[in-house]
Amino acid sequence: MAEFIMELNDEQREVRDWIHGFAADVMRPAAAEWDEREETPWPVIQEAAKIGIYSLDFYAQQYFDPTGLGIPMAMEELFWGDAGIALSIVGTGLAAVGVLANGTEEQIGTWVPQMYGDANDVKVAAFCSSEPDAGSDVASMRTRAVYDEAKDEWVINGTKTWATNGGIANVHVVVASVDAELGSKGHASFIVPPNTPGLSQGQKFQKHGIRASHTAEVVLEDVRVPGSCLLGGKEKLDERLARARERAKAGGGERVKNAAMATFEASRPAVGAMAVGTARAAYEEALEYARTREQFGRPIIDNQGVAFQLADMRTSIDAARLLVWRASWMAVNGKPFTAAEGSQSKLFASETAKKVTAQAIQILGGNGFTREYPVERMHRDAAIYTIFEGTSEIQRLVIARTLSGMPIR
């Protein structure tokens, strides 16, 4: 087990500086344009692919960093550059994590490379879990997968929503119910290969923030996928469902983790790191502005009202980063989240991003309210962190249930 440390080593710092350079030189100059266009920034993704940032190898190296700091370090720097473009670059990672968390070695080797493509032909992937009537309430999922034993195929029907890269992805990972009576314990994840008949893009959402990231509905109408596209395989699924049914008959028992929850638990500290990156970017803009903006013959940072806000902003950002790093280290080293440390990191970091970006606007005053300064965009972007991959309310519920052991509602 790697020792928990609070600073990056030389190799990690080198990687951080490399990513930071890409964020500063490529992402930031393009951020306002793609925010206005509300389109996937394919040229920027391709540039990321050319230098190796958008690739399976890069994310694998960070994912398997024994300190656990590789992924949060990378996420923070990319989202410091721009949240919308960064989400377009890393959105494929959620689908990849879904396969890594639930798939067999053969499935991982087959499908994850197809999610990224290569520098000459970049691809993206989508993880499809939320539904119009089942966001946080995953037990209410209506998308169904039925096994056709004669053809060894699964037939999937339903509508997914809020899917990053939904409809434009090369590979979709879809969570569906295979046994509705078991609620969330009856869910499974499926690979939907490229060009599978019956899968189509529904509504594309026009969003408040992260507008360079494509978010849409995914409609599945009699979508047939081979039995080999069930993540983990049917034998493993049948065993898990049998255990869940036995526990249901016995009146409860040990909690059974479903595929979607396994993906979210693995990704929550990474989302916290994204929020830290956006918060840090806004703080740095506000700090520089406060140093150079003069009122009444002196820089506004000379005023306690401004200086104390900046002190609080920096303190909250550093605290959020430490929570993220702790949870990431625990996850990589197999330490259980006995106090819901993953949810703690996501909750605190996302709330920090919203607060810090709002404070940055206040420090910039009227300028902060205009699109001539990036803090306005950062504030819009920060709003998503308290919503996606589990709202702040859901994080508090997870933490409270973990601490109390009670079914708090």
Residues with a catalytic annotation lie at 389
Residue 14, exposed/middle/buried by CB under 10 A (0-12, 13-18, 19+)?
exposed
Instruction: Give the Å distances, CA to CA, from 289 to 284, 295, 363, 372.
Output: 8, 12, 8, 13
Opening angle at CA 206, ends 201 and 210, nearest 5: 105
The residue with tokens 């809020």 is 162
Cβ contacts of 209 within 8 Å, gap of 6 or more: 83, 84, 377, 379, 380, 381, 382, 383, 384
Sign of the Cα pseudo-torsion (146, 168, 350, 346, in order) = positive
- Token representation of residue 252: 């409860």
* Pairing state between β 153-164 and 121-122: unpaired
| Rounded CA separation 222/204 (Å) | 21
Instruction: Give residue for tokens 């005023």.
Output: 303
Report how far Cα 329 is from the mean position of its chain's Cα atoms: 17
C-alpha pair distances (Å), 233 with each of 186, 211, 332: 14, 36, 24
Length of the chain: 409
Residues 6+ apart with CB under 8 A from 112: 56, 96, 99, 100
Three-class DSSP category at 118 = strand
The C-alpha atoms of residue 324 and residue 288 are separated, in whole angstroms, by: 26
Q: Which residue is it, tokens 């259980």?
A: 336
Which of 107, 102, 246 has the alpha carbon at shortest distance from 179? 246
Residue 139 in contact with residue 63, Cβ under 8 Å? no
